[in-house]
Amino acid sequence: MAIYSCRNLGLPALNLLRVKGMHILQQLMLEERLLRTTSDNWCIINDGTEDRNIVMGASGRPAELLKIDSVLQDKVAVIRRFTGGGTVIVDHSTVFVSFICNKDALPDVQPYPGPIMSWSSLIYDDVFRQVGDFSLCENDYVFGSRKFGGNAQSITKTRWIHHTSFLWDFDVSNMAYLKLPRT
């Protein structure tokens, strides 16, 4: 585990925590603690989580989103995160990136999901410029027409968090646990 301080990158002064294989439940608990108990700005990057887990948004309903029999049969853990967003299955091939910021750290970014996502997409556009046709499409990050990153936010009185799960290597068998969400 390493913590760095980033300056002069077009970002607010923030602490960078980079880890590999932190369990997603530990990461979510750390993020919530940092959001609610500190005034520091953070970027957390976690390269994969050891176990396969299903992560649901705060208002997700398991019966509508999960194939419960398959989840129970294979003993796949289901974690409800403290932020909104959809449901995702994560594993060792998922890269997690979270920004936790004070609202005044980015005065040009309104503290609402759309503007926060537009801001983060500018950062990711820079990162993925050499990889492919990256863009923000509605609420997802895509290469061309293929979604590879979903996100969730929580916005408090003075701070916000924006976290993303980038799916780098897709295992089609993991989809056996998820239902297609209603539109």
Q: What is the pLDDT of residue 7?
A: 44
pTM: 0.90
Q: Which of 135, 154, 108, 146 is CA-nearest to residue 10?
A: 108
Rounded Cα gap, residues 155 and 138, in angstroms:
19
Rounded Cα gap, residues 152 and 165, in angstroms:
9
Enumerate domains of the chain plus CATH numbers: 2-51+92-177 (3.30.930.10)
Question: What 8-state DSSP symbol labels residue 23?
Answer: -
Q: What is the pLDDT of residue 10?
A: 54
Q: Which amino acid is at 87?
A: T
Q: Break the chain down into helix, strand, coil percent, rounded to 5.
A: 25, 40, 35
pLDDT tens per residue, the chain (183 residues)? 544 444 444 567 889 999 999 999 999 999 999 999 999 999 999 999 988 999 999 999 999 999 999 999 999 999 999 999 889 999 999 999 999 999 999 999 999 999 999 999 999 988 888 888 999 998 889 999 888 999 999 999 999 999 999 988 878 899 899 998 776
At 132, list the tokens: 């492919």
